[in-house]
Structure 1
Amino acid sequence: MFRKRIVTALAATTLVAAGVFTAVQAAEPSAPAIKPTASVVPAFDHIVLVMFENKKYSSINGSSSAPYFNSLAAQGAKFTNSFAITHPSQPNYVALFSGSPQGVTDDACPINLGAKANLGSQLAGAGKTFKGYSEAMPSDGYTGCSSGTYRRKHNSWVDFSNIPASANLRNSAFPSDFTQLPTVAFVTPDMCNDMHDCAVGTGDKWLKSHLDAYAQWAKTHNSLLIVTFDEDSGTSVNQIFTAFVGANVKVGSYSESINHYTVLRTIEAAYGLPGINNAASKSPITDVWQ
């Protein structure tokens, strides 16, 4: 019996060496490949973040008025426990960009925050680039509080003196050649298309029209789209819809609790940057990456 086992083992070894089968194939011929979760955030070539307005999670998730939001989230990572920081709008925009509301508690304008640390200044210090694109802003570099359907309160980067005017652009400057995008771009629709003054369906159509091409491109070009909201509809819960779509994203729903600081920390981690202000105490999101 012992001699027979030796002969059998030698025969199997010979077959493996000849490439007839592998040990894994012999033991588990139909076992699917398992992709491990990345322990770090990928170093994306480009990240585009678009912020919508004043809708609670349940107004978007599964809503027949938001078919594109939901189809887009189904192509990436949907966060079922994502939250804004506060109310009203402006401090949330400032918090996402700088890790703190910086003492801002309302929508007063103008807010001037000097050269305090922010995502744009961090990126510049690391040799990366940032640009913000605002729909309906009357001119590049504009610092006024309002014009038509544009509101400065939804444009946080203009509040910081260490962000150059050349980074404060109209949305019409968003390149059709996505390789020309900065490392990180923030996009702000106007007061109608961001759903502040208009229906969910309006914002849904705008998102598809303006960013679906980038979302599809991002999947094969080491890039990422982040879709989120500044705050919910004014409740104390402040739960919002947030989704990541792009390269290296594992499709699925994720239930960990995240907020604007978590999103900022994740963007920072993609480029090896430290967390600033309240983002410093957050761990970047790592379970959604392949």
Structure 2
Amino acid sequence: MRSALILGSTVAFATTAFAAIAQSFAPPAASPEQSSANYTGQTNGTISNPPLVKGKAFDRFIQIWIENTDFETAASSPVFQNLSKQGVLFDQFYAVTHPSEPNYLAAVGGDFFGAADDNFYHIPQNISTVVDLLEAKNISWASYQENMPYDGFTGFNFTQNNYLTNQGQYTYYVRKHNGLIVFDSVANVTDRALRIRNFNDFANDLKANDIPQWNFITPNLVNDAHDTTIDFAADWLNFWLVPLLEDPNFNTNRTIILLTFDETETYTINNRIFTLALGNGVPKELRGTTDSTFYTHYSALSTVEANWGLGALGRGDTNATLNNVFQFVANATGWKNNGISGNSSAIPLLNLTGTIPGPLNVNLYQPFAAPNTSGISPGGGPVFVAPGVNTSFTAAALPPPVNLAAQNKTNPWGTDPGIDYSTGTKVIKPPAPASSSSGSGSGSGSGSGSGTNGAATLDAHMSVAACFLLGIVAGVLAVL
């Protein structure tokens, strides 16, 4: 049995995450370069980017995430087989947990903070993301979210006209697939939040040749295979990605495109996902080959760090077991990977759910720890420490986990802070009354969206340990 030391010792298995809906693909727009009323959100003008910063192996990095598919299922698709001939297949690439949301958080924040569900969360202001690392080197970035109603939308989801059938409403956009907006260090900073853009903006930025250097792209819930099938997602890739591979405004001669999945559909197998490195930045001699190095979602962070000589977040991106840099980038930057590859017994179990303590785990609640300032960045820079972080509040110094659910307490980071950009300017809206919330959060058609019900209720008879922890959350957690 593979080692579970990195992610815990108890395996929590789940059933498959969803039942696919039988739908037929229909292009949401005339082409990837064209805006569409089906995307709902208006075009907000082109993005403003600083001058290009040269990387050691590539100058543009684009991640495209699709959903919930076992490796073998994707590998059986003719579209994915054809795309494999144009790039490098990473056949030992792993998601880091289940379900979706924690994987998206991990890919941009270096950790999933114990999250074991897809609920509404917000992560406090001084927990850093890849954005902090990029901006420290003046590297442009954006996230493009299909069917997000407006730039910087913070709602739990967005429901609109069903453009596939033109009958009724459909929820195409969900916050859980938009990792950066979950972090207050992005959502609560106007200039950053408005770089979380919709697909009408993407079309506009593409035509203007203004696609930034680092990008995270999330299709909607049908095009990403979450609510449909791998064949549906393949049709979307033929419509959207395949033509863009020929567009120099998207795929420059120094562009790497990482096409990957958030997780496997089957929870009872280790979390190996079909992943391709595409783009003109892939060395020609490697196209059509397979790389069996052990990679994870943290590798997307460490690879970017190595390429641009960045610092690190001091989390999964500096974990020597989990942070292998894409080998062709490691070769160009001088980084030495850990040697784990193939079907090695050193690959840890990465399908564990709910067993990792953390601030987003209501059953094993612990406050946020400071980043590991001793971590080594593949880029050679220092670990980024946000203002106000108490670096002595390390993982080893945390109090024991507390089961808030058993005490009928809600997670304090599940309360919607009410950040709203519907007018293009940040407004803080008051929380909805607790009685009107279902506890899981929902966005409205107007885009106002609400998260879980109000702040965590404190019980005067809570245990000393829980009182200590929640006190930290409420104030002493200025470690954050």
TM interval, shorter chain, is: 0.7 to 0.9
Whichever residue aligns with residue 206 of structure 2, its letter is S
Q: Which residue of 2 aligns with 1:273?
A: 310
Deviation at 1:178, TM superposition (A): 7.3
SS at the partner of 2:299?
Answer: helix
> What is the CA–CA distance in structure 2 between the aligned matches of 1:115 and 1:80, rounded to whole Å?
35
Query: Taking structure 1 as reference, are residues 270 and 208 closer, same or farther at Cα in structure 2, changes over 3 Å only?
Result: farther
> What is the CA–CA distance in structure 1 between the aligned matches of 2:97 and 2:183, rounded to whole Å?
20
Q: Which residue of 2 aligns with 1:12?
A: none
Query: Taking structure 1 as reference, are residues 177 and 45 closer, same or farther at Cα in structure 2, changes over 3 Å only?
Result: farther
Q: Which residue of 1 aligns with 2:297?
A: 260
Pick which of 164-173 and 216-225 moved more: 216-225
> What is the CA–CA distance in structure 2 between the aligned matches of 1:114 and 1:274, rounded to whole Å?
19
Are 2:316 and 1:284 aligned?
Answer: no
Q: Which residue of 2 aligns with 1:71?
A: 82
Pick which of 141-150 and 244-253 moved more: 244-253
Contact 2:124–2:185 (Cα < 8 Å) also in 1: no
Q: Which residue of 2 aligns with 1:200?
A: 230
Q: Which residue of 2 aligns with 1:49?
A: 63
Q: Which residue of 2 aligns with 1:30?
A: none
Q: Which residue of 2 aligns with 1:182?
A: 212
Pick which of 105-114 and 117-126 moved more: 105-114
Aligned with residue 274 of structure 2, among 218, 221, 241 = 241
Whichever residue aligns with residue 176 of structure 1, its letter is L
Q: Which residue of 2 aligns with 1:116?
A: 127
SS at the partner of 1:109?
Answer: coil
Q: Which residue of 2 aligns with 1:26?
A: none
Determine which structure has more spread, i.e. the larger CA radius of gyration.
1
In structure 1, list runs of 5 or more residues that go unmatched. 1-40
Are 2:115 and 1:104 aligned?
Answer: yes
Task: With the length of structure 1 as denominator, give the TM-score of the two structures.
Answer: 0.79
> What is the CA–CA distance in structure 2 between the aligned matches of 1:189 and 1:197, rounded to whole Å?
12
Query: Taking structure 1 as reference, are residues 115 and 239 closer, same or farther at Cα in structure 2, changes over 3 Å only?
Result: same
Deviation at 1:103, TM superposition (A): 3.0
Contact 2:147–2:173 (Cα < 8 Å) also in 1: yes
Aligned with residue 147 of structure 1, among 146, 158, 161 = 158
> What is the percent sequence identity of the aligned residues?
30
> What is the CA–CA distance in structure 1 between the aligned matches of 2:290 and 2:238, rounded to whole Å?
21
> What is the CA–CA distance in structure 2 between the aligned matches of 1:178 and 1:103, rounded to whole Å?
41
Q: Which residue of 1 aligns with 2:196?
A: 168
SS at the partner of 1:283?
Answer: coil
Whichever residue aligns with residue 202 of structure 1, its letter is F
Deviation at 1:186, TM superposition (A): 0.3
> What is the CA–CA distance in structure 1 between the aligned matches of 2:59 and 2:238, rounded to whole Å?
22
Deviation at 1:215, TM superposition (A): 2.5
SS at the partner of 2:276?
Answer: strand
SS at the partner of 1:269?
Answer: helix
> What is the CA–CA distance in structure 2 between the aligned matches of 1:128 and 1:200, rounded to whole Å?
34
Whichever residue aligns with residue 272 of structure 1, its letter is G
> What is the CA–CA distance in structure 1 between the aligned matches of 2:224 and 2:257, rounded to whole Å?
16
SS at the partner of 2:91?
Answer: strand
Whichever residue aligns with residue 232 of structure 1, its letter is T
> What is the CA–CA distance in structure 2 between the aligned matches of 1:242 and 1:178, rounded to whole Å?
29
Pick which of 196-205 and 246-255 moved more: 246-255
> What is the CA–CA distance in structure 1 between the aligned matches of 2:151 and 2:232, rounded to whole Å?
25
How do residues 76-95 of structure 1 correspond to structure 2 at under 5 angstroms?
A: 76-95=87-106
Cα deviations across residues 36-82 of structure 1 (Å, max 9, x unaligned)?
A: xxxxx734221110001100100101x2xx32222112111101111
Are 2:253 and 1:221 aligned?
Answer: yes
Are 2:264 and 1:232 aligned?
Answer: yes
Deviation at 1:177, TM superposition (A): 3.3
Query: Taking structure 1 as reference, are residues 230 and 46 closer, same or farther at Cα in structure 2, changes over 3 Å only?
Result: same
> What is the CA–CA distance in structure 2 between the aligned matches of 1:179 and 1:167, rounded to whole Å?
16
Q: Which residue of 2 aligns with 1:38?
A: none
Q: Which residue of 1 aligns with 2:241?
A: 211
> What is the CA–CA distance in structure 1 between the aligned matches of 2:235 and 2:269, rounded to whole Å?
28
> What is the CA–CA distance in structure 2 between the aligned matches of 1:202 and 1:113, rounded to whole Å?
37
> What is the CA–CA distance in structure 2 between the aligned matches of 1:83 and 1:248, rounded to whole Å?
21
By relative contact order (CA 8 Å, sep 6+), the higher-ranking structure is 1
In structure 2, list runs of 5 or more residues that go unmatched. 1-54, 160-171, 187-191, 333-480
Deviation at 1:93, TM superposition (A): 0.3
Whichever residue aligns with residue 64 of structure 2, its letter is V
RMSD across aligned C-alpha pairs, in angstroms? 1.9
SS at the partner of 2:328?
Answer: coil
Contact 2:63–2:258 (Cα < 8 Å) also in 1: yes
Contact 1:98–1:117 (Cα < 8 Å) also in 2: yes
Q: Which residue of 1 aligns with 2:26?
A: none
> What is the CA–CA distance in structure 2 between the aligned matches of 1:286 and 1:108, rounded to whole Å?
35
Whichever residue aligns with residue 185 of structure 1, its letter is N
Deviation at 1:219, TM superposition (A): 5.8
Q: Which residue of 2 aligns with 1:5?
A: none
Contact 1:99–1:264 (Cα < 8 Å) also in 2: yes
